[in-house]
Structure 1
Amino acid sequence: MLNQDNSSTLLHDLDKIDRRILQVMQADAKLNTKEIAHRVGLSITPTYERIKKIEKMGLIKSQVTLLDRQKVGKTLIAFCSVSLQLHSLAHIKNFEAAIAKLHEVMECYHVAGNYDYLLKVVVNDMNKYQQFLTYKLATIENIAQVHSSFVMTETKHTTAFQLDEV
């Protein structure tokens, strides 16, 4: 994991073209080097070399295919705010290990505030959510409370970071 100073240094190592390459790649990971080169105004070889440099820097975590959740039947998104009863390191690790095994949990954040964790849960429908809550989440030891909020409309969803000049 990068600390803030190290990640800032990495961003300083990128010029405008490197940042443009990353923006193009975030928008469409299927593009080949020739297509990326065309979009950023470089020839293929320098574009390839820049991509390899960026990869060696560790800035590209992975390249994935994003599915249309509606078309694959995942129509319900719930955000679960979870409070733990006990907060020892062992209890935290056990909770996190259990959550990592639940495929319905798309994202999990340890947060500060009124709750300990925020989970993004994506399932087919309310019945599947009830089953998830009853037979999976509720079986995890040390949970004190779960509050669920359901998405009515998705106003914005992006996976791309804006890479402004530093």
Structure 2
Amino acid sequence: MDQLDIEILRALQENGKQNTKEVASKIGLTVTPTYERIKRLEQKGVIKKYVAILDRKLVGKEIIAYCQITLHKHQKEMIEVFKKHMYFLDEVMECHHVSGNFDFLLKVAVDNMGSFQVFINEKLATVDGISTIHSSFVMDSNKNTTVYTL
């Protein structure tokens, strides 16, 4: 990646909906080479996908919780089974295998506390291999970004 690729990535992180002509004008290239660079970045997997970032409160996700999960045994098979289960739980926005005092950190988004209780009792707690679940709730967010510094 060179400086022009980095500028393209910065522009697309700022607004993934802008067209190639808009990106080209921001980075000082013509449309065709800008288009080719974007396609190459997509093909290499640097750009994984384009998404819309929603206002969670306007779509009814009032509760964000971070759940710290400890497994009974830290074995490869149990870890893989847990990861597969998390992939299919719609409430889980992020699932990270971490080091430290617990094994996984989950970011969970739900409508309200009743929804969270249902998620814990009827979905998460039914996954085999979980030893403990500790949850922390977001009270306020002063920074929430998806932009990587390049």
TM interval, short-chain normalised: over 0.9
User: Please, which of 59, 81, 88 is the counterpart of residue 72 of structure 1?
Assistant: 59
Q: Give a deviation string over 1:54-100, Cα, whole Å, max 9, x none.
A: 22322111111111111100111000000011222221121111111
Taking the aligned partners of 1:143 and 1:104, their CA distance within structure 2 comes to: 17
When the two structures are superposed, what TM-score results if normalisation uses the length of structure 2? 0.95
Runs of 4+ in structure 1 displaced over 4 angstroms? none
User: Where in structure 1 are there 5+ consecutive unaligned residues?
Assistant: 1-13
Q: Give a deviation string over 1:31-69, Cα, whole Å, max 9, x none.
A: 111111111122211211221222232211111111111
> Could you say what secondary structure the match of 2:18 adopts?
coil
Instruction: Give the fraction of aligned pairs with identical amino acids, expressed as a percent.
Output: 49
Over aligned residues, Cα RMSD in angstroms? Answer: 1.1
Q: Give a deviation string over 1:103-146, Cα, whole Å, max 9, x none.
A: 00000011110001000000011111011011111111111110
The answer on 1:153 being equivalent to 2:140 is yes
User: Where in structure 2 are there 5+ consecutive unaligned residues?
Assistant: none
> Could you say what secondary structure the match of 1:137 adopts?
helix
- Residue identity in the other structure for 1:51: I
When the two structures are superposed, what TM-score results if normalisation uses the length of structure 1? 0.86
Query: For residue 132 of structure 1, what is the aligned residue in structure 2?
Result: 119
